[in-house]
Amino acid sequence: MNEKVLVLYGGLSKEREVSIRSGRAVAASLRRNGFIVKEFDFKGKIETVLESFSPDVVFIALHGKYGEDGTVQGALEIAGVPYTGSGVLASAVCMNKFITKKLFNSLDIETAEFLPFHKGEKLSYKEVTRYLKSNKIVIKPVDQGSTIGISIVDNEDDFKKGIKEAFALSDDIIVEQFINGKEITITVIGNNNNVIALPTIEIVPENDFYDYESKYVPGMSHHIIPARISRVTDEKAKKNALLIYKNFGLRDFARIDFIVSNGIPFALEVNTIPGFTETSLVPDAARAYGMTFDNLTTFVVNEALKRNK
């Protein structure tokens, strides 16, 4: 192979360190596969490296804001350089939890009841819990990844604290009903008529929920394949994951998270650029399907290269 791949990692979001790990793992894999690889720690400027390296394709390993939200994708569209993963609109939509939830509803996919709020609006814990029919609620900034800024609260004081923390990260937040159940995730790969849902993974965090520490500190979570759910529930979750992937216009790969309660998979969110280290969820799902890490990175690059041709 002599295709040149520019691997973008780092970035400006709070997920920078994780992105560096993803990008370096991808770069090492692509080199093993015979690609000509250049690593680039993205800090807001991309024109110079595109001109000097002239990549055939860009592998985006940026997580969170300014990488997973359609902004870098837009810059690459203008530059006329093919890139891995979803396009501008799909990336922006999935980064916004409020819009994502509205689309879940439009597709009749079960998701937790929720309320959106903009900075400056008054929030009453009593009114929110009455509307959501739950004293335990989840507070989320609409545009952060890796559970950054998320709080699970069940009293007025923690509610106020959680709201303050979420608004410190975003002007818009959502407050949603807490659903107790098993956390599962489904990776979908491919494009057009060749889209596959990989084996479902059950996530068992050491903490109360799958928070930042559980995701990225070794030993703080366990991936169970196959997930300990019924065949009917698994089939429904995969059906919904594929429905989301196709209707949201996702490309190459994505990970859709659910929580299973009483046999129902409730959709949580869509990750268009999930973690890509050797031990991340997406590579784990690929291995369970029979794809090595190197198979997976090459597959993703080749899918992006097809769009250029």
Structure tokens at 88: 């501008």
C-alpha closest to that of 52 among 6, 106, 95, 98: 6
* Angle at which helices 88-95 and 97-106 cross, to 10°: 100
Q: Is 53 exposed, middle or buried (0-12, 13-18, 19+ CB in 10 A)?
A: middle
Q: Which of 10, 15, 221, 280 is catalytic?
A: 15
146 is catalytic: yes
Which residue is catalytic, options 68, 257, 284, 303?
257
Catalytic residue status for 275 = yes
Strands 172-177 vs 137-141: parallel, antiparallel or unpaired = antiparallel
Question: What whole-number distance in Å separates Cα of residue 150 and Cα of residue 148?
Answer: 6
Marked catalytic residue, from 9, 125, 210, 216: 216
In the residue annotation, 216 being an active-site residue is answered as yes
Find the catalytic residue in 96, 255, 280, 284: 255
> Is-catalytic flag, 15?
yes
Residue 235 a catalytic site member: no
Closest of 278, 284, 272 to residue 60, by C-alpha? 272
255 is catalytic: yes
Catalytic residue among 13, 275, 280, 284: 275
Separation of alpha carbons 20 and 126, rounded Å: 42
Measured distance CA(266)–CA(62) in Å, rounded? 27
302 among known catalytic residues: no
17 included as an active-site residue: no
Choose the catalytic residue: 19, 91, 146, 280. 146
Catalytic residues: 15, 146, 216, 255, 257, 269, 271, 275
